[in-house]
Amino acid sequence: MSILSTMDNLNPHPYSLQRRKFIRWLAMGAAAIGAPALVFNYSNLLKPDATGPEDELIELCGDKALFSIGKRWTENNPAENNLAAIKASLLKGSTIANYDNCNTQQLINFVHAKSKAEFARMETMITDGWVLTQTDCRIAALHFLNHSQNT
Amino acid sequence: MHIDARDLENNATIETDICIIGAGPAGISIALDWIGKKEKVVLLESAGFDYDDKIQDSYKGENTGLPYYPLKSTRLHYFGGTSGHWGGFCAKLDPIDIEKRSWITDSGWPISLDELEAFYPKAHELVELGPYQWSVDYWLDTKPKFKQLFPHNDYLWDKIWKISPPTRFGKKYREAIVNAPNIQLYTFANLTNLTTNAEGNLVTEAEVKNLEGKSYTVKAKQFILAAGAIQNARMLLAANKQQPGGLGNQNDVVGRYFMEHIEVRSGELWLVEPNDLALYMLNMEARAEIAVKPAMQKQLGITNGTISLSPLDVANRLRAHSKSWASDDPRQNIAAVQTENKNAEENKITKRFKKHYHIAYSMFSRFESAPNRDSRVFLDTKTDAMGTPLASLHWALSEIDKKSIRRVHELIGQQLGAAGLGRVKVFKFLEDPHNNGWSEGTSGGWHHMGTTRMGTDPKTSVVDANCQVHGISNLFCAGSSCFPTSGAANPTLSLLALSLRLSNYIKGKMSV
């Protein structure tokens, strides 16, 4: 038996190569799973485009709370217990002629600006615990009525 | 010099120039102020240098008003006093706290803030608060991560709070007191009575006892009660051998107008865009809390208060103070709070992945309570081991207190919405403006104030503008018991400033 062959058979760290491979695979696996998760968390890439002025409030208050706020608004304001009336109220003061047939971003900007102006004038109420404007409540009512119609 | 009063001969008499009763932050700060003077100062501490449950028993008492912490564990009864377990949060009083406010009954201090301001730097140094910087601009310049939520707002401002290490007065100043040639610290020296001359306008001696059954007498030119707001009132009320209602209590004011800061989780602040709000988060130096500008307080007719913010996830894991601090033993309570705080902390890695971590914040109210005559400390029929009646507490709040917290949340919600930053949600107990009830989690900040309030009219106050008990020329109260209104700030820094001012006044009086 040559010295060389003896040395070849002598592996002082029999498991080190396997361990290194395992760690490498583990790191690659973690990166493969983690990278999309990071992207999902930190970027807007996977966020859907805004569909209406209610998106922001759904994000802030939650779908369930917004539904409840909207329901309460329609109960307390029977004249606005239909989509047409709510949409007309929301568009009051706007140059947008048709709620359903307009530029979505323009609509969102208008409604948000309207709510901000009401906040600035301190025209707010507390409903379901949330400090909201009338415009916010109408957005919630729109969400409620849309949801009711769809179900 | 330190003397263990248990080693004194029974019925001994001690003569001194100034007798300070109570070695907590107020008493120690006054004693420190007299080091090196020719006058002899006696500092009486009813316990020793460490916690002693038997002595602490004399702080037991009933709560008959709003739910409150067990009285035995809200204060500490040994050298260093309650600084032995305080959290170290400090803020200065605001100018409006001192003013007479037409919308708050019995508001207004008989001194200006400038008179107190002169003593804040020294108080600041005593509690090791670092640079004397209280403006938000300084901290915005110093810490690039600090950004205001409402810069240049007409109604809201950022009030700076600074964080003491926290200074444990018993440890920090023990050596200085014990080594001072003109200071005599007596431990295990428990005040049981104050005796006046026949006219009742001069205290002649203090009767002191200990659990070993020994009694002795301290004769002094000036007496300063510096034992905390509950104990100061208790001692005046219990000194009733010559005057049935107690000393300084001809008008039934001693013990009344007890105030606590109303501390309660009260809402949520939700942001449209993630923001770490570093300026408002707990750290080791300074942070801001959201406060209402004086003109707006006046317009809304509300009390002063601040809102602190913390990540909602963390706050949701914490129990209300009233639940964590339920034992008679302060050591158990501290351990429970520390464990809960530690367990509630968010893991540095996981918080990055939490969807709402930098969007949703808990709002915690820290408000003054309006002076209320029905909120009071009074004597129980039960006595402690030395025969002194125990103190009971009837904590009461007023309609304006609840209204104020509600209105401030609305205002913050309005400003947040107007800036397009997000929305505010108030807790259930604040929703209905006609409901004056309080949530289960409502508690105090362990801040006892107002039981020997300062004022010019003896019918509504116990001490005058110099903290001298009305009608008794050599008896003074030190500490937050003298506060006519509490402000929203934790009291330690201001009670130290007021105590140093009293010390200065006595120096003038004694022509030091």
Among B453, B447, B441, B442, which Cα is nearest to B490's?
Answer: B447
For residues B269 and B304, state if they share a domain. Answer: yes
Burial of A120 (0-12, 13-18, 19+ CB in 10 A): middle
Q: Each residue of A75-88: pLDDT tens digit?
A: 999 999 999 999 99
Contact A119 B415 (CB under 8 A): yes
Backbone angles phi, psi at B318, to 5 degrees: -100, 140
| pLDDT of amino acid A48 | 56
Confidence of residue A2 (pLDDT cuts 50, 70, 90): very low
Q: What is the mean pLDDT of residues B286-314?
A: 97
Asked whether residue A68 is assigned to any structural domain, the reply reads: yes
Rg (CA), chain B: 23
Asked whether residue B111 is assigned to any structural domain, the reply reads: no
Q: Does B266 touch chain A (CB under 8 A)?
A: no
For residues B413 and B337, state if they share a domain. Answer: yes
- Cα–chain center distance at B90: 10
Q: CATH code at B246?
A: 3.50.50.60
Looking at residue B192, the DSSP 8-state letter turns out to be E
Cβ count near B239 (within 10 Å): 26
For residues A101 and A70, state if they share a domain. Answer: yes
Asked whether residue B276 is assigned to any structural domain, the reply reads: yes
Confidence of residue B456 (pLDDT cuts 50, 70, 90): very high
Q: What is the mean pLDDT of residues B393-419?
A: 97
Chain B: nearest CA to A37, how far in angstroms?
Answer: 9
Calculated CA dihedral for residues A61, A63, A68, A71, nearest 10 degrees: 120
For residues A62 and A113, state if they share a domain. Answer: yes
Asked whether residue A23 is assigned to any structural domain, the reply reads: yes
Q: What percent of chain B is modeled with pLDDT above 70? A: 100
Contact B423 A124 (CB under 8 A): no
Asked whether residue A119 is assigned to any structural domain, the reply reads: yes
Written as one string, the DSSP assignment of chain A is: --HHHHHHH--SSTTHHHHHHHHHHHHHHHHHHHHHHHHHHH-STTSPPP-STHHHHHHHH-HHHHHHHHHHHHHH-GGG-SHHHHHHHHHTT-S---GGGS-HHHHHHHHHHHHHHHHHTT-EEEETTEEEEHHHHHHHHHHHHHHHHH-
With contacts defined as CB-CB under 8 Å, which chain B residues touch A109? none
How many domains does chain A fold into? 2
Dmax over CA atoms of chain A, in Å, equals: 100
* Residue B190 to residue B156: CA distance in whole angstroms: 47
Q: What percent of chain B is modeled with pLDDT above 90? A: 92
* Residue B424 to residue B365: CA distance in whole angstroms: 14
Chain A: nearest CA to B149, how far in angstroms?
Answer: 16
Cβ count near A63 (within 10 Å): 13
For residues A94 and A140, state if they share a domain. Answer: yes
For residues A144 and A82, state if they share a domain. Answer: yes
| pLDDT of amino acid A49 | 62
Contact B414 A59 (CB under 8 A): no
Q: Are A100 and A116 in contact (CB under 8 A)?
A: no
Contact A60 B422 (CB under 8 A): yes
| pLDDT of amino acid A25 | 87
For residues B419 and B323, state if they share a domain. Answer: yes
pLDDT reading at B45 higher than 80: yes
Q: Each residue of B224-246: pLDDT tens digit?
A: 999 999 999 999 999 999 999 99
Q: Does B350 touch chain A (CB under 8 A)?
A: no
| pLDDT of amino acid A4 | 42
Which domain, by its residues, includes B402? 130-163+262-367+398-437
For residues A38 and A63, state if they share a domain. Answer: no
Among B492, B486, B480, which Cα is nearest to B89's?
Answer: B492
How, if at all, do strands B203-209 and B156-163 pair? unpaired
* Residue A111 to residue A99: CA distance in whole angstroms: 11
For residues B60 and B138, state if they share a domain. Answer: no
Cβ count near B423 (within 10 Å): 23
Asked whether residue B442 is assigned to any structural domain, the reply reads: no
Contact A131 B428 (CB under 8 A): no
How many domains does chain B fold into? 2
Asked whether residue B270 is assigned to any structural domain, the reply reads: yes
Rounded to the nearest 5 degrees, what angle is found at the Cα of B100, between the Cα atoms of B95 and B101?
A: 95
Among B79, B238, B86, B224, which Cα is nearest to B163's?
Answer: B86
Rounded to the nearest 5 degrees, what angle is found at the Cα of B392, between the Cα atoms of B389 and B398?
A: 150
Residue B13: both structure tokens together: 């008499």
pLDDT reading at B512 higher than 80: no
| pLDDT of amino acid A52 | 86
The A-side interface with B (CB below 8 A) comprises 37, 41, 56-57, 59-61, 112, 115-120, 122, 124, 126, 129-133, 136
With contacts defined as CB-CB under 8 Å, which chain B residues touch A61? 270, 423, 425
* Residue B168 to residue B301: CA distance in whole angstroms: 38
Asked whether residue A85 is assigned to any structural domain, the reply reads: yes
Contact A124 B417 (CB under 8 A): yes
For residues A80 and A35, state if they share a domain. Answer: no
| pLDDT of amino acid B351 | 79
Q: Each residue of A63-117: pLDDT tens digit?
A: 999 999 999 999 999 999 999 999 999 999 999 989 998 999 999 999 999 999 9
**Residue with the larger pLDDT of the pair B347 and B127:** B127
With contacts defined as CB-CB under 8 Å, which chain B residues touch A120? 414, 418
Chain A: nearest CA to B495, how far in angstroms?
Answer: 37
Q: Are B488 and B161 in contact (CB under 8 A)?
A: no
Q: Are B475 and B466 in contact (CB under 8 A)?
A: no
For residues B182 and B294, state if they share a domain. Answer: no
Asked whether residue B340 is assigned to any structural domain, the reply reads: yes
Backbone angles phi, psi at B198, to 5 degrees: -60, -35
Asked whether residue B110 is assigned to any structural domain, the reply reads: no
Asked whether residue A48 is assigned to any structural domain, the reply reads: no
Instruction: Name the amino acid, one letter, at B340.
Output: E
Q: What is the mean pLDDT of residues A16-35?
A: 82
Where residue B406 falls (left for φ over 0; alpha for ψ -120 to 50; beta otherwise) is alpha
Q: Residue B55 in 3-state DSSP?
A: helix
Asked whether residue A121 is assigned to any structural domain, the reply reads: yes
Residue B82: both structure tokens together: 């309650």
Q: Each residue of B88-131: pLDDT tens digit?
A: 999 999 999 999 999 999 999 999 999 999 999 999 999 999 99
Q: What is the mean pLDDT of residues B72-92?
A: 95
Q: Are A96 and A107 in contact (CB under 8 A)?
A: yes
For residue B19, what are the β-bridge partners? B42, B223
Asked whether residue B98 is assigned to any structural domain, the reply reads: no
Which domain, by its residues, includes A124? 54-150
For residues B274 and B205, state if they share a domain. Answer: no
Asked whether residue B443 is assigned to any structural domain, the reply reads: no
Nearest to A131 among B272, B355, B426 (CB): B426
ipTM score above 0.90:
yes
Burial of B85 (0-12, 13-18, 19+ CB in 10 A): buried
* Residue B239 to residue B191: CA distance in whole angstroms: 10
For residues A72 and A138, state if they share a domain. Answer: yes
With contacts defined as CB-CB under 8 Å, which chain B residues touch A59? 272
Chain A: nearest CA to B140, how far in angstroms?
Answer: 26
Backbone angles phi, psi at B290, to 5 degrees: -80, 130
For residues A17 and A60, state if they share a domain. Answer: no
For residues A65 and A34, state if they share a domain. Answer: no
Instruction: Name the amino acid, one letter, at B314.
Output: V
* Location of structure tokens 């801040």: B447
Q: What is the mean pLDDT of residues B312-319?
A: 93
Chain B: nearest CA to A39, how far in angstroms?
Answer: 11
For residues A61 and A112, state if they share a domain. Answer: yes
How many A/B residue pairs have CB atoms within 8 Å?
Answer: 65
Chain A: nearest CA to B350, how far in angstroms?
Answer: 12
For residues A65 and A36, state if they share a domain. Answer: no
Q: Are B93 and B489 in contact (CB under 8 A)?
A: yes
Average pLDDT taken over every residue of chain B? 96
Asked whether residue A49 is assigned to any structural domain, the reply reads: no
Written as one string, the DSSP assignment of B280-304 is: GS--SSEEEEEEE-HHHHHHHT---
Asked whether residue A13 is assigned to any structural domain, the reply reads: yes
For residues A59 and A93, state if they share a domain. Answer: yes
| pLDDT of amino acid A20 | 83
With contacts defined as CB-CB under 8 Å, which chain A residues touch B422? 60
* Residue B59 to residue B46: CA distance in whole angstroms: 11
pLDDT reading at B49 higher than 90: yes
